[in-house]
Amino acid sequence: MEEVLDILADISADVANADFIEISDLSPSEIGSFARVWFTIPVDRQRSILSTMVSLAEDNTELDFCAVFKMCLKDPDEIVQKTAIEGLWEYEDRSIIAGLVQILRSNGSPFVRSTAAVALGKFAYLTQEGKLLAKDESQIFENLMDALSDEDEDLEVRRRSLEAVAPFNTDVIRGYVTWAYESDDMDLKSSSIYAMGRTGEASWIPCLMKELQSPEPSVRYETANACGDLGDEDVVPDLVQLLEDDDYQVQIAGINALGKIGGVLAKRVLMRCIKEGDAALEDAARAALEDVEFLDDPMAYQS
C-alpha cells in the first residue's frame, strides 16, 4: 500500500489499474494513512484517480473503495464530492447520511447539492422499509423538505429534493407534486412524474395514463418508469403502445415497466418482443421477462 501511495502522490507517475487493488477495502488505520497522502495530491489528479475508482468498482464487485469515497464527501472540491457520491450509489450504510445532508445544506453549487439530494432519496426508501433508525428518518425528511419548501432555493435542488422525499408520501408532499406537475418548467414537471411513481400512491394512475400520450419524449419516458414503480396492471395496455414509440429510450422504459408490473399480458408482450424486436430491444425484453418470472414464482426462479 505504501508503494501505491507513493505512486498516487507522484504527479509524473501513471497509476495502473492493478495498483488500485492495494487500496481496496481499507481499514480505519489505513484510511488515515491514505488521507495524509490524498490531501497533498493536486485536485486534477484527485479527480482522475477517483473517477477511475468508480469505474473499476462498477466493473469488479470485489473492489471496495467505499472508505475512500466516504472520506471524499468532505473534500473541498465539488467534483471530487460529486464523484464520491456516485461511487457510493449502492452503499446503504447509514454512516453517510450525515455527510450527504451536510453537502445538501452547504453553500455549495446546485451542481453538487442536487446530487446529494438524489443520493438521500435512496435512504428515504430504506426508511419506509424500516431499515433505518427513527432519527435517520427525521433527518432525511426534514432536510429534504427544507430544501424543497425554500422558494429562494435553486430549482434544480428543489426538484431533486422532491424526487428524493416522495416515498414519505405525506399530504404536503402530494401538494408539492401537484405544484411541480402544473409548472411550465418541463424539468420540474418531469420530476413531479418521477415523484408520483416513488410515492406508491395509486391515485396518480389516471394522471400518468394521460401523460403516456404526451408529445414530449422525456415526459413519456418518466411516465413509463413511474407506471412501473406503481405496478398497476391497468396501465399495461397503454405501456404496450410505447413499444412502437418513435423514441428508443421511451421504448426501453416501456419494456422495463412491463417487467416491473408483470402479469399475463406483460409476459406475452415481452415474449413477442424477444422474437420480433431488434437486438437491443430483445436484450431489454429478456431482462424484463426475468423480472416477470421472478414476480410469478420467486422460489422457482431462484432454483
Per-residue pLDDT, averaged over 210-234, amounts to: 96
Tell me how far apart the alpha carbons of residues 239 and 285 are, in angstroms, rounded to a whole number: 13
What angle (nearest 5°) sits at the alpha carbon of residue 111, between those of residues 69 and 175? 110
Q: Which residue has the higher pLDDT, 155 or 2?
A: 155
Domain spanning 201-297: CATH 1.25.10.10: yes
Helices (H), the chain: 2-9, 28-38, 43-59, 66-72, 78-87, 97-104, 110-128, 134-149, 155-165, 171-181, 186-199, 205-211, 217-230, 236-241, 248-261, 264-276, 279-296, 298-302
Evaluate if residue 246 carries a pLDDT over 60: yes
Evaluate if residue 296 carries a pLDDT over 80: no
Evaluate if residue 134 carries a pLDDT over 70: yes
pLDDT reported for residue 299: 58
All three cell numbers of 198, joined, read 416513488
Evaluate if residue 282 carries a pLDDT over 60: yes
Among 17, 18, 24, 19, which residue's Cα sits nearest to residue 7? 19
Chain-centre distance for alpha carbon 46: 24
Tell me how far apart the alpha carbons of residues 159 and 38 are, in angstroms, rounded to a whole number: 34
What angle (nearest 5°) sits at the alpha carbon of residue 251, between those of residues 245 and 257? 125
